[in-house]
Structure formats: structure tokens, C-alpha cells
Amino acid sequence: MLATIRVAWFLAVRQIRRASPWTTALIVFVMMLTFLNLVVVGGILVGLPQGSQLAYEREYSGEVLIRSLPTKEYIERSEDMIKTLRAFPEVVQISPRYLTGGKIEANYRTAVGPKQEPDALMIQIGGIDPVLEHEVTGIGELLFVGENLDPEEEGYVLLGKDLLEEYTVGAGIIGAVTLTNVGVGSKVRVEVNGSTKELIIRGVLSSKIGEMSTRAFMLDTELRRLSGRTDRNVGEIAVRLRPGANPMAVRDALKASGFADVARIQTARESQGTFLEDIEDTFEILSAAIGSIGLMVASITVFIVIFINAVTRRKYIGILKGIGISGSSIELSYVFQSIFYATFGAFFGLVIIYTLLVPYFAEHPIDFPFSDGVLAVPIDGTLIRLGLLVAVTVIAGYLPARMIVKGNTLDAILGR
Amino acid sequence: MKAIDAINIVKTYSSGGTQNTVLKGITLAIEQGEFVAIMGRSGAGKSTLLYQLSLLDQPTSGDIVMDGISTRKLSESALTKIRLSKLGYVFQDYALVPELTALENAAIPLLMQGHSDSVAYAKARVALEAVGLEKRINNLPSKLSGGEQQRVSIARAVAHAPKILFADEPTANLDSETGRRVIDILQAFHERGQTIVMVTHEEEYGLLADRVIRLSDGMIESYR
């Protein structure tokens, strides 16, 4: 057996080494493209919903999001919960948000006639501590116009870009219902629970997460006063954890601390519901289908390459058998060649993926309406695809070799 | 001591519904250390007989007994093992593997036998020296002349010390001077005890053999 493998290796190495370098390069190139097709197409498809999930976690929810129960407007015992959360070693920062429905109006100064439509929107308003919010969601970096709120300076509001006509051009999530002719520095009137206040737009948030792009944010103290709230119960709490911390452990610990009955305590993934997960699952199926076509192409390519090689070398295969080289050695030598083509093709594919494509897509995400798509190519999944490619090419290399090797030795030698 | 016993060998080829019997019941024995030439006109069945004797082909009926073992019912794999361990081949068109150097061509049966690289290459080198190619061992077949390729082929055939060396018209593609040199090399091996069975149509080379078996129309016409 050992001699069989040694001779197979001996033959394979010399065949590859002394083959035309252009032919070898071409085959390796085809295998590389096949591998890229196998990994990158699926990576992009899965990367679209995954990009959305990552952005949701990064820009809105943190790793754990605590929301009020569906039947309540706020989280009872919020202060206790915040205190408990701050005691968890995994928690880096939390951002409690007061949430309330309200109206925001732009043309309240100029609208005089009863027939004139008010330029107003019913929206959700978040009351935040801008420093905490920035530490959890980086809200300051989401501002593409203007600047963040100052905790010491009341009278300002941040608006999600989908609330403003200037930045949506009719493509906003809420369609044409947007505020017109307002931007940073403009005054708007906010009405909450019958109380109104004039605020200046300090910045506009750009995010593909609806909760950020369709909300208005003002100082929590100011919103509480405006809404007449005297309690300190908040509407939601975004929790940022230390890198590597397990959000499920924090969720479970918080539930175990007795807060399960007063709030929906969920990881970022759970709080998104199943919509994105369903999309991701669908894209994974699509990617598997596309990948299997790629695998078929790879196997047919290798089959043809090895078949042509074996057919043109049929005489020498006959001679090798004639002088006593076992058929298994000859077949195995072709299997080794197939593995060579597949692994080198995949190697160059890996280099391209992890040194060029992943950094490129991280720097220039795919601009998709609901997300900035990343290239989702986890190393374990990539290695599985590499293994699949090698396995398929091994079979594709073995079959034609077997077909030729099992032929009559003398016929092969004499070219009959 | 008999090296090969061929018993009533018949070889029939079927083609397009017609049957062509090329060997018609040949019985012969070849002794250990003998140099046998198989001769005859074109189409007499010389090469076909050599292929049966050398186990490259299976007779339609009859048996080849080698070292007292009937080969009639052996599998292809078992025949390959016998070819590797006991037989050596020199083909008319040299039949070297183009991607292997002279040394590698000569070493490959030894590697298949399980010898280490160093032993296999050392034995192959000795065989190449014996055919006068010690300075061309790293050349690919494409860089060797026809005569040199045939000498590599002989080196490959003898490197693993086979019991019987089969040569199928080894000088057919060579000029007379080079052909003569190849025959001299075969004779030299024979003088050292190598059993050789050679097909040739050259009377001159046939005369050098211990025994000539003349075939005519698939049957033995005469012995010398």
C-alpha cells in the first residue's frame, strides 16, 4: 500500500512539474474562480441580511435590548434594572431611552389658512442621555449633518433622515410624509401629551435601521418634563457588552434577577424577530444552490482535464501497467493531481478573499436599501466549502483515471 | 530449469463478426538462462506470442506456466504483480514515460517493488551505467536519441533483476549501428545469466540467440 502511494505521488509530482506551466496555471485559475464562486456569491447573499443584523446591533440595540412589554408604555422598575445591569461585569455601557409618541411640525409659523396642510408627522420620540447613547450606539458618528446633543444644552433635537424630505427624495420608509424645507438649524415644534416646545434641529441621523432613521431624539430630561412624566421608568434600554461576552448569559442573568415579568429582555438577534433570519436562511439555500452549480462546474472541469490527460496518456498508462505499476498507483496519481489543482486554486481563492475582498467590502459595503451588505465568509464555512471542492475534485479526478486504467493493458500499449 | 512453459496456446481475435486465429496451439518451453529469438514473416504471430508469454495478454485457450504456477486464472492485479517481480520489457518504440528522466524511468519499477528512494535510484544508476548512459541519467526521453532511449528502456527492464527479459523488435526503429549496439547490450546481460526472449525479423540478430523459434501462420515452423 505504501509503495502504491509513493509511486502515485512520484508520478503525480513529475506530471505536474513537467506539464506546460500555462496549462497548469489555467486549470488552477479555473479552480480558483470556482472556489470564489462557491464562497463569495454565498458570502454576499448571506452578508446582506447579516450586514443589517450587525448594523442593528451596532447602531441601535447593543448586544442586549430591553423593551417594555407590549401592553405597557414603559419598563417598570427601570431604575432597579439599570442598577442591576451596571453591576454585571460583561456590561460596558447602557443607554436608557424614554420613548413616547408625539407630533413634530415644520411649517407651524407660516401655515395660516385653515385649508393649508400642516407639515407635521406623528413619530416616536426618544429621550436620551447623548453621552451614554454615543457610548452604546455611536450616535455621534451616525450624524451625517450637524452635531450631537449636548447634555447641558436643552432646546435641540436630532432627526432621523427618513423624516426629512431633503434626504429621502420620496424614498423614505414613510414615503412622501416627510418634513419639507427643514434641515440643521431649522426650528420645529414638538408636541407631546398636549404640551408643545420649539426645538432646533441639531443634527440628522443617517442609518439604515428604521428605529434610528424614523425617530427624533432629544435630551431625556427635557422629554420627561415635556411629557409630564415624574417617574424614571424608561421605554427601552440598549446594552453594550464587552467584546466576546455572551449576550445570552446576560439576558438569562437579568431574567433570573426577577425582571422577566416587567420587560422583554432579548439579545439583539432575538429582538429583530425572525424576518432577517428567514431572509438569511433563504439566502443560504440560494447560496447552497448556486454553490452546488459551482461544484458541478468544478467537477466537470476536473473530469474533462483528467480525462483528456488520461486519454492522451493512455499508451503510457498501458506501459506503466505493463512494467508492473499497479492500476491503483496510476489512478491515485491522477487523484493527487486533482487535489493539487483544487487546493492550489482554493489557496489562491483564500488569499484573494481574505486579503482583498473581505477588507474591500468592509471598507466599501454593498449599498443595499435595508443594509450595508458585508462579505460573510466565516473561516469554518469557507473551510467546509474547500473540503467540498477537494472531495468533489477527487471523485472527478478518480473516475476518468479509473475508466482509462481499467482498460486492456496491451490495447493501451499498442494504441488499439 | 524451465522459466516458462507455454501449453497449447491459442489466440483468437474477433473483429466484425469474423474470427482470426493468430496463434494455433503453440507449445514450447524456455529454460532459465536461455536467449531465445522468435522469428518469422510479418503476420506470423511473433509479437502475439511474445505478449502471451510475457503475460501482457491472456491466451484464448491454453496456459502459461511460470515458476510452476499456472497463470490462466490469475486476476489482472496478480498478473501485474508477476510482471513487476519477474519480468522485464523492452518495447519496439522504447515506451518510456515522457515526464520521467532516464534515471526515474529506470527506477520506477524498483519504487513500485517497495525499495527506498536511495536503493531504487542506486540500482537504476547501475543499470544505466551498464548500458553506457551514466552521463545522461537526468535527461528526459525527449532529449535522448532513439538509441539512447532504447538503452534506457533496457536499463528499466533489467534494473529490478527480472527472471525473464522480453524484447519486442528492439532494433526495429534504430539504424543498423545503433541496433547492433542494443543487441550487444542484450547479449552482455545474457552472458551474465539473464533469460531473454526476443522477437526480431533480423536474421543476423537471430543467429546470436541460443535458440530460434520460427513461426509461420500462427504455428511453430521450426526450432534451431
Question: Out of A15, A321, A326, whose CB is closest to B99?
Answer: A15
B68 reaches A (C-beta below 8 A): no
Residues of A in contact with B83 (CB under 8 A): 322-324
Backbone angles phi, psi at A296, to 5 degrees: -65, -40
- Between chains, do B112 and A413 touch, taking CB under 8 Å as contact? no
Q: What is the pLDDT of residues A26-66, one digit of tens each?
A: 889 988 998 898 888 888 888 888 888 889 999 999 999 99
B208 reaches A (C-beta below 8 A): no
| Mutate which: A323, A333, A416, vs B, most B CBs within 10 A | A323
Backbone angles phi, psi at B183, to 5 degrees: -65, -40
Q: What is the pLDDT of residues B146-198, one digit of tens each?
A: 889 988 998 998 888 889 999 998 888 778 888 888 888 888 888 888 999 99
Q: The dihedral of CA B177, B180, B185, B188: what is its sign?
A: negative
Q: Calculate the average pLDDT of chain A.
A: 88
- Between chains, do B104 and A14 touch, taking CB under 8 Å as contact? yes
pLDDT at A3: 87
pLDDT above 80 (res A173)? no
B84 reaches A (C-beta below 8 A): yes
Cβ–Cβ under 8 Å, residues A78 and A319: no
Question: Out of B84, B95, B98, whose CB is closest to A413?
Answer: B95
Q: How far is A401 from chain B (nearest CA, A)?
A: 16
What confidence tier does B224 reach under pLDDT thresholds 50, 70, 90? Answer: low
- Between chains, do B95 and A329 touch, taking CB under 8 Å as contact? no
A297 reaches B (C-beta below 8 A): no
> How far, in Å, CA of A126 to CA of A151, rounded?
14
> How far, in Å, CA of A145 to CA of A117, rounded?
28
Minimal-distance CA residue of chain A relative to B116: A3
Q: What is the pLDDT of residues B123-137, one digit of tens each?
A: 999 989 888 888 889
- Between chains, do B85 and A2 touch, taking CB under 8 Å as contact? no
What confidence tier does A112 reach under pLDDT thresholds 50, 70, 90? Answer: low
For A62, which DSSP code?
A: B
Enter the pTM of the model: 0.75
Q: What is the mean pLDDT of residues A325-352?
A: 93
B218 reaches A (C-beta below 8 A): no
Minimal-distance CA residue of chain B relative to A2: B114
Alpha helices by DSSP H, listed for A75-209, are 78-87, 130-137, 139-142, 165-168
Checking ipTM against 0.85, whether it exceeds it is yes
Minimal-distance CA residue of chain B relative to A15: B99
- At residue A372's C-alpha, the angle toward residues A368 and A377, to 5°, is 110
- Between chains, do B80 and A325 touch, taking CB under 8 Å as contact? yes
A415 reaches B (C-beta below 8 A): no
Number of continuous H segments (helices) and E segments (strands) in chain A: 16, 12
- Between chains, do B84 and A323 touch, taking CB under 8 Å as contact? yes
B151 reaches A (C-beta below 8 A): no
pLDDT above 90 (res A276)? no
